[in-house]
Amino acid sequence: MLRRRFLTGATRGIAGGLVATTAASAFPAPALAQGVRRLNMVTTWPRDFPGLGTGAQRLADSITLMTGGKLSVKVFAAGERVPAYEAFDAVSAGAADLYHGIEYYWQNRSRAFNFFATVPFGLTAGEMAAWIYQGGGQALWDELSRGFNIKPFQVGNTGVQMGGWYNKEINALEDFKGLKIRMPGLGGEVVKRLGAVPISLPGSQIFPALTSGKIDATEWAGPWNDLTLGFYKVAKHYYFPGIHEPGTALSSGINLKVWESLSADQKAIVTQAMAAENILSRSEFRARNADALNTLRGKHQVDFRRFSDDVLKAMGTAAGAVVGDIGAGGDPLTGKIYENFKSFRKKALSWTHIGEQTFQNARILPFKY
């Protein structure tokens, strides 16, 4: 999805100590005048980027308003104080108070963070929220993040993404052989096992790469953000579903010492503000994606294509191997998170199949309504 989107130099690999030193000089000490405490939020997004940068600002405004201004949260967009992919390290080191991003950005710290963002053929947005709030996910996330001095929260979800824009048809597995596709992360590992050549490109380079033929295909997000970037102008086919990111959770992490210093009522307010933003973000992406899909289909006459069952099954097999490797190849905590995630996914799938999936199938039957 949005990995490596916003900064061409995102993979700078600056160590935590250097982040602490450089970022600390960028931030003034938190304001405590007259009982007002200023908290600095660093993000992985450009300011006012639809659904992401705007969501971070909405969350900050909510915390400020709900605490009567006692906690005043100031948002810094990517690069304004620290580069996008150093937001986690800045908060971990105490150089910033909060971050807003996606947990798979921190997988160089632990591959287990992927489970709290999204994994191929993993959980839908609703299932992800259920796992975090009711399935033991939050406790495991807390345990993982505590090792980095962070208290994490889920603050949104893009929902299921699209499978990507392609300049050649994907009718069989053979069509992936040698396909140059912009698909970073775990999704890229999946298509690589099918014979594709995954390529990482920042968002600013995707459009010209498609135009020139440097890449044959790209994934990005859903119709809302894809429409904004204009991929319909240079790619012939828009495939679905996006099995690589079935429900990408947005997150906010608070420096653990800052969190523990809050009063009980402030902790309760912040927790509720995070939960409210989770609902608002999910509903916003759902509504805007529907609007954009209709625009792409109607105004721009985009060719929507569904991956065949054979292709999807092969993707699923590859995804199971990729995700299983994370669970088997990590430390004991990563293994524990993987087993809990896998168990919840199995349980959720049984209800989703009987409940939501059968209803969705019934709703598209031809009848007057």
Average pLDDT rounded to a whole number, residues 91-103: 98
282 and 313 together in one domain: no
Q: Report the first-to-last Cα separation within the chain, whole angstroms.
A: 36
267 and 251 together in one domain: yes
155 and 169 together in one domain: no
111 and 62 together in one domain: yes
Quote the pLDDT of residue 317: 98
128 and 49 together in one domain: yes
Quote the pLDDT of residue 4: 46
Q: Please list the alpha-helical segments (H only) found in 216-369.
A: 223-229, 256-261, 264-298, 309-329, 332-352, 358-363
38 and 64 together in one domain: yes
119 and 211 together in one domain: no
177 and 264 together in one domain: no
Residue 369 falls within a domain, yes or no?
no
Across the chain, what does the average pLDDT equal? 92
Count of structural domains, the chain: 2
Average pLDDT rounded to a whole number, residues 337-360: 97
Quote the pLDDT of residue 33: 53
Given the structure tokens 């006012």, which residue do they identify? 48
Cβ-contact 205, 147 below 8 angstroms: no
Alpha-carbon distance of 255 to 240, in angstroms, equals 38
Alpha-carbon distance of 25 to 351, in angstroms, equals 51
Residue 104 falls within a domain, yes or no?
yes
227 and 256 together in one domain: no
Res. 24 pLDDT band, cuts 50 70 90: very low
Closest CA to 247 of 125, 96, 134, 86: 125
272 and 343 together in one domain: no
Cβ-contact 216, 167 below 8 angstroms: yes
123 and 57 together in one domain: yes
Please classify residue 2 by burial: count the beta carbons closer than 10 Å to its beta carbon, then call 0-12 exposed, 13-18 middle and 19+ buried: buried
57 and 199 together in one domain: no
Q: Which residues of 331-369 are buried (b: 16+ CB within 10 A; e: fewer)?
A: eeebebbbebbbebbeebeeebeeeeeeeeeeeeeeeee
Res. 201 pLDDT band, cuts 50 70 90: confident
> What confidence tens digit (pLDDT) does each residue in 284-324 have?
999 999 999 999 999 999 999 999 999 999 999 999 999 99
Quote the pLDDT of residue 2: 55
Tell me which residue range forms the domain holding 131: 16-159+247-288
Given the structure tokens 């989703």, which residue do they identify? 352
Cβ-contact 19, 95 below 8 angstroms: yes
Identify any residues that bridge with 37 across adjacent strands, giving them in sequence order. Answer: 71
Task: Output the DSSP codes for 131-200.
Answer: HHHHSSHHHHHHHHHHTTTEEEEEEEE--SBP-EEESS---SGGGGTT-EEE--HHHHHHHHHTT-EEE-
Average pLDDT rounded to a whole number, residues 161-165: 98
- Please say if the pLDDT value at position 160 is more than 70: yes
Average pLDDT rounded to a whole number, residues 92-100: 99
Alpha-carbon distance of 188 to 181, in angstroms, equals 8
Residue 294 falls within a domain, yes or no?
no
Q: Which amino acid is at 317?
A: T
Torsion angles phi and psi, residue 237, rounded to 5: -125, 140
Q: What is the pTM of this model?
A: 0.89
All residues at 6 or more sequence positions from 52 whose CB lies less than 8 Å from its CB, including other chains: 2, 43, 44, 45, 250
Percentage of the residues of the chain whose pLDDT score is greater than 90: 86
> What confidence tens digit (pLDDT) does each residue in 41-93 have?
999 999 998 999 999 999 999 999 999 999 999 999 999 999 999 999 999 99
